[in-house]
Amino acid sequence: MRILQVHNSYREPGGEDLSVASEAELLRAAGNDVRRHIVRNPEHAGATLGKLALAPHNRFSADAVVDAARDFSADVVHVNNTWFSISPAVFEALDRAGFPTVFTLRNYRVACVQSLLFRDGRVCTDCVGGSTGPGIRHRCYRDSFVLSAVAAATSSLARRRGTWNRANRLIAMSESQRRILVESGLPDDRMDTVPNAVLDPGPRSTSPARSNRLLFVGRLAPEKGVDLLLDAWQRLPRGHEFELVLIGDGPLRRSLRPRLPAGVRLIGWQDPARVREEMLSGRALLFPTQGLEPFGRGVIEAFAAGLPVLAAARGGAGEAVARVGPDWCIRSDSGEDWAAAISRLTDDALVEDAGRRTRRLYERHYSPAIVTAALERSYARAINDQGNPEGRRP
């Protein structure tokens, strides 16, 4: 199959970019011909303002995608993030040109000005299924009224034009995310649930119970729960032998450094190979997210490494960790409750058993073979749908 992969990458590389690249690698390994059309948002102020002005409907960028699909003779076009240089106009252009299209919703931007469903330290669904007015009023995108208005106009215009319905198949990454997307007005009957692609790091050489290092892997931002984790850390019993390693970068990095308690190290952003090494030699991953993660890539990376995970019981991450057992999902945002949960990690037998469970879950639900097959099914459905216009859309 000839697959054109389309993605608007981020200035700071993150989980979405890594997932898109991993999918290309898996699809090629399965014998597919994959070409990537990657667009980067401009860095200079003048160019950025120009692209933002076109963000609701960038015909020029959409035409470039169609040209790439024609040049490649693509069987299917897989669109990922479109904010902000590509724009939702790509779906209308591909539909007019007759290319079967699949759209993976890697965040909540279709329903949220900020894309995270998170505001003022809590989950916010004020714009889900309704007007994006609250997102403008609260200046949810980069704390700017103007930029929030542009982001709101982008999703509102797409909704009015039925733009999302121009994609043949939609992909959610978890059942938790899928429910919110359907509540936002997207059609459930054309939506598939396909987890993010996480490459297999291979088996562990030692049990996680032989390590004393606990890991946090993620963006250093309020919605990721770093402050909650540090609060819990300071409540642990004196004399514990754990070490906490924070891996990631983000807006909180500068303020975190001077207030790290004893036993906590911040090593910043690391490349995927280093993250895999840390997970293969760690004791557990701590995932105290305060937001509704669409998937929680770090959780599945830990599963692949046979690493136990303590996670907040919300979003796609909580959905995955609940499969390990109820005691691994924390239903409270209390530092005291998180400290109690972390203290249970002193039980070597418990940690060893959880490591075996996470690896089995990865093999059964998230392995490369399973994700590749699910993607190929979505592509086949999109191609079939494109060839049957009477049954496509209302």
Question: Do 41 and 85 contact (CB within 8 A), yes or no?
Answer: yes
* Whole-number pLDDT of residue 340: 97
Using the Cα atoms of residue 87, residue 272, residue 142 and residue 48 in order, give the sign of their dihedral.
Answer: negative
* Whole-number pLDDT of residue 391: 44
pLDDT in tens, 232-271: 999 999 989 999 999 999 999 999 999 999 999 999 999 9
The mean pLDDT of 3-24, rounded to a whole number, is: 92
Q: Please give the structure tokens belonging to residue 16.
A: 């979405």
Q: Round to the nearest angstrom and report the end-to-end CA distance of the chain.
A: 28
Q: In angstroms, rounded to a whole number, what is the distance separating the alpha carbons of residues 343 and 346? A: 6
Q: In angstroms, rounded to a whole number, what is the distance separating the alpha carbons of residues 266 and 289? A: 18
* Whole-number pLDDT of residue 388: 67
Q: Nearest-5° angle of CA 342, CA 347, CA 352?
A: 100
Q: In angstroms, rounded to a whole number, what is the distance separating the alpha carbons of residues 65 and 10? A: 18
What is the pTM assigned to this prediction? Answer: 0.94
Q: Please give the structure tokens belonging to residue 107.
A: 């965040």
Q: Is 90 exceeded by the pLDDT of residue 387?
A: no
pLDDT in tens, 214-224: 999 999 999 99
- Tokens 């790290």 found at: 260
* Whole-number pLDDT of residue 43: 82
Question: Do 303 and 275 contact (CB within 8 A), yes or no?
Answer: no
CATH class of 2-198+369-391: alpha beta
Question: What 3-state class would DSSP assign to 267?
Answer: strand
List the chain domain ranges.
2-198+369-391, 208-365
Q: Which residues does 384 contact at the CB level (< 8 Å), separation at least 6?
A: none
**CATH architecture for the domain at 208-365:** 3-Layer(aba) Sandwich (3.40)
Q: Is 50 exceeded by the pLDDT of residue 204?
A: yes
DSSP 367-387: SHHHHHHHHHHHHHHHHHHHT
